[in-house]
Amino acid sequence: MKLSRLLPAAFGLVAAVDLVCLAAGADVGHAVAKPLLMPLLALWAAVRKAPRPLLAALLFGWGGDVLLLSDAEPAFLAGMASFAAGHVCYLVLFAVHGRRDTFPRARAGILALGYAVALVTTVALLWPDLPADLRVPVAGYSLLLTAMAFRSATRLGLFAGLGGALFLLSDTLIATGVAEWPQPPAPDFWIMLTYIAAQLLLTVGTLGVLDARRAPAVTYGEMRAA
């Protein structure tokens, strides 16, 4: 089987194992499966000739994944910094490989307003309940994450935009846990489900757009000859 097919199959299997372990409360299985996810996705993207900013974003995501396996606050801050670096890589990716005409300007304005309201509301509500030394880092990270989510939709289209939105949702669930808000049943399951889907959609969305641009244009004469 070709790597281009084997790697996504392996990613899907590891993702399923990780989610099942989280649902069953098998912490050891989660600790083994989680660090494998982003390397597999990055390797598949590399086989598909993905640009370097996408590979860097996924590998910074891997760094954050590993660091967040620890409950210690320094590890949480380091993990957040690693994910923040990944979001910077995504923003570079969107700037270099995205298109300004992907999203109609009027809709982009509405989307920007929606994300801005979500950002301000979420940070304002979380602020009093966050540990004092995490308030500014969480607010700064939230701003960067929201910018990434917005740009993913306006520069690369639907799939990447959904990925950005799910990334925002996943990290918001983490923030509410840090603030000790009431959580849904098995919160780690939902955090990982939305996170895995986010990284996959951002990768698939990017590769789809780039593959479409790489495809040779077919002229009218070539169509008639065929």
> Chain-centre distance of CA 52, in angstroms?
16
Cβ neighbours, 10 Å, residue 168: 23
For residue 163, what are the contacts with CB-CB under 8 A and spacing of at least 6?
152, 197, 198, 199, 200, 201, 202, 203, 204, 205
> How does pLDDT run across 41-96, given as a tens digit for each residue?
999 999 999 999 999 999 999 999 999 999 888 999 999 999 999 999 999 999 99
Q: What is the DSSP string of 94-127?
A: HHHH--TTSS-HHHHHHHHHHHHHHHHHHHHHHG
C-alpha 25/C-alpha 189 separation (Å) is 10
- Higher model confidence: residue 89 or residue 210? 89
> How does pLDDT run across 17-51, given as a tens digit for each residue?
999 999 999 999 999 999 999 999 999 999 999 99
pLDDT above 80: residue 224: no
Question: Which among 76, 49, 20, 56 is positioned nearest to 196, based on CA atoms?
Answer: 20
Helix or strand holding residue 223 (H, E): helix 220-225
Q: Given this model, what pLDDT does residue 90 score?
A: 98
